[in-house]
A and B are shown apart, each in its own frame.
Chain A
Amino acid sequence: MAVITHTPSGNVEVKKPRSNSTLLRVSRYVTRRLLVLGVTVVVGVYLTIMIANMGGHVDTIMRNEIADRITQSIAANPAMQQMAPEVRRTLIQERIAAEEKRLGLDTPLAIRSFRYLSNALTLRLGRAINMTSDAGSKQVRLILLERLPATLLLMGVSQLFLFFSSVFLALNLSRHYGNFWDKAVVALSPTSAVPPWFYGIFMILIFAGIFKILPFGGMVDSPPPSNPVDYALNVLKHMLLPAFSLVLSSFFLSIYNYRTFFLIYSSEDYVEMAKAKGLPPGDVERNYILRPTLPTIITNFAFLLIGLWTGATITETVFLWPGLGRTLYHAIGLYDIPVIVGSTIINAYLLAMTVFLLDFIYALVDPRVKVGGN
């Protein structure tokens, strides 16, 4: 029931009683949202499975490979060279059938793909076909977990540095529109057209090849230093070039983006009003530029965090960095489908969770946004 009250000024205000349907609205929204995200994840992962299997072409490759391997091993076995050709052919057929059965190739991909899907969705990542972890395990979970710290270290350091430095510097530049540094950043922003691994190759050439002051690649010397402090310093030394390449290739464009973004928002009427009110410049920046733009900045930050998981495939490969990106690159080369799918499903879940949480974060930082509102 709406209650109409007359305010002192004679204006009519319609007041709604505090709605007890908030819980209902939010829970209805959460259900619908989770459902949509769930379907998205399922479809995405299924497509990944089909693509990783090249729509069934990988089966043919594997069948040929099995046939080759078994024919050759039997042909090379002196004990079997005495057999009659028919017997030997039957034996080959039987062994091929057994191997195909072992790998599940006897059931068509259309059926197997759903088994893969349900395994992936329940995070039973299974065993790799060819790859092993450094510790010798074929468990996909262990392969991925072993590589995760290296990727988190490299990507975490470079991406977090990139994010905070570009937001801070961009805010500074937007205050001094058109000065020397501002023009310099605008002029240098095309440097981001070049990918990080390309800078990486030059960095290796200059600092490892010519000056010989930094290592060519890897994460730590072999054998690694036993003292933990030396170990950390050694890793830092190895990380310098890849991290620098990753930062450099996005640095100027990222500053340029945020600077333009802040420039647009600092010409809002309410920013001018804040200046007219005589608020100190720091207050204007914090409450009138950063706060209204917080949803966008948080979104960028959240996607950056997800990006850490996938790693930088080619840059890690160029620098022989033992991270997830390089593992994924290997897995694609080896048609190691369980590893590809395992890496993808975790990324898909992280993405879906982030998107889901962002809706609630928006509602927290922006009063105009209401969870499940119209």
Chain B
Amino acid sequence: MNMPPRKLLQIEKLVLHFKTSHGVVQAVDSVNFELDTNRAVVILGESGCGKSSLAKAMLRLLPRNVDKYGGSVYLNGEDVMMYDEDEFRRNVRWVGMSLVPQAAMNSLNPVIRVGDQVAEPAMVHLGIRKTEAMTLVRRMFQHVGVPEDFISRYPFELSGGMRQRVALAMALVTSPSLILLDEPTSALDLLTQANIMNVLKRIKHELGTSFILITHDIATSSELADEVAVMYAGQIVEVGHAKDFFPAPLHPYAQMLMASVPRLRSESDPMFITGQPPSLIDLPEGCRFAARCPFRFEKCNEEPPMLGKNGRKVKCWLYE
């Protein structure tokens, strides 16, 4: 019915629910957003708000207890949700988009040399021989700052930072136009975090890659972000350009999130948000943030729509 979107990525009404013994977990609940080529969007949110599930839903990495999985994911105008399992594996995974996982520590096979693990997707998806793939791996290692002779090492012989770089090289090796980064730096120390963020910036500049950076680390992510999406209780509550968002977030949750970041040269103490995010099993009617919101009024008992304001979008009745 509608024109095929021209964007690199357009997600519409993406839903991922899990079945548990306590009830249905609505981890990703009707998420919409879009992304252009060579842009980086940061998805911000607390632990347990459905950020990682969003990444899994996009790559169709579903656990055994899926209750509901649907919506549309347009990649270069094609709805990849319509693909069957084999088409999805051949055309989306590591070709359309690749993933840098949360814990690179456990995401590398302990008994295969890291060079071989990085080469694998190139051999499978680009159909090249091992020797060619290894040349490619060396180039990727250079890009991310891993010494070339690490190619024949095993994961347990590398430091945490090096493993994360290897994971990054692995995501780059098939040169996908989009890379999903699921908290790529949260297990690392500050210096290594800064190193990796610099590598990401350079790659974006040199290779024209787009990034979706999923994180709760506002300070680190602001380095890379072109756009920001704030996620709360399985939904996206605010979307906007980074340059607009960081100085003045609109959604009360985003405002309080920003106020919770400690600042180096400021008298103000970091704020905290009272209460807890709602359980994704038993979600409240109306606005999901209402219970913790200092600005709540009667209207908040109804679910707010995504409201547009000066090219920004926010899911809050205050901006009606």
A residues touching B (Cβ–Cβ < 8 Å)? Answer: 7-9, 11, 13, 177-178, 268-270, 272-280, 283, 287-288, 291-292, 294, 365-368
Contact = CB atoms under 8 A, between A and B. Distances in A.
Given A270-B110, A274-B109, A291-B111, A8 B94 contact: no
Given A269-B103, A274-B120, 12 more contacts: A7-B147, A9-B195, A11-B159, A11-B161, A11-B162, A269-B107, A270-B109, A277-B94, A277-B98, A278-B94, A366-B111, A367-B156
A178 B64 contact: yes
B59 interface: yes
A294 B146 CA distance: 30
Interface in B64-104: 64, 89-90, 92-95, 98-99, 101, 103
B125 interface: yes
A291 B59 contact: no
A362 to B, nearest CB: 11
A177 B64 contact: yes
Interface of B: 59, 61, 64, 89-90, 92-95, 98-99, 101, 103, 106-112, 120-121, 124-125, 142, 145-147, 154, 156, 159, 161-162, 165, 170, 195
A275 B103 CA distance: 16
A366 B108 CA distance: 14
Instruction: Say what secondary structure dominates the interface of chain A.
Output: loop
A103 to B, nearest CB: 58
Q: Which 10 A-B pairs have the closest CB atoms?
A: A278-B93, A9-B145, A269-B106, A273-B107, A277-B121, A7-B147, A270-B109, A367-B154, A278-B94, A278-B89
Given A276-B61, A280-B124, A366-B111, A268 B89 contact: no
Nearest to A281: B89
A268 B94 CA distance: 19
A269 to B, nearest CB: 4
Nearest to A273: B107
Contact of B90 (A272, A273, A274, A278): A278
Contacts of B103: 269
Contact of A8 (B110, B120, B145): B145
Contact of A270 (B59, B106, B121, B195): B106
B112 A287 contact: yes
Contact of A276 (B99, B146, B147, B165): B99
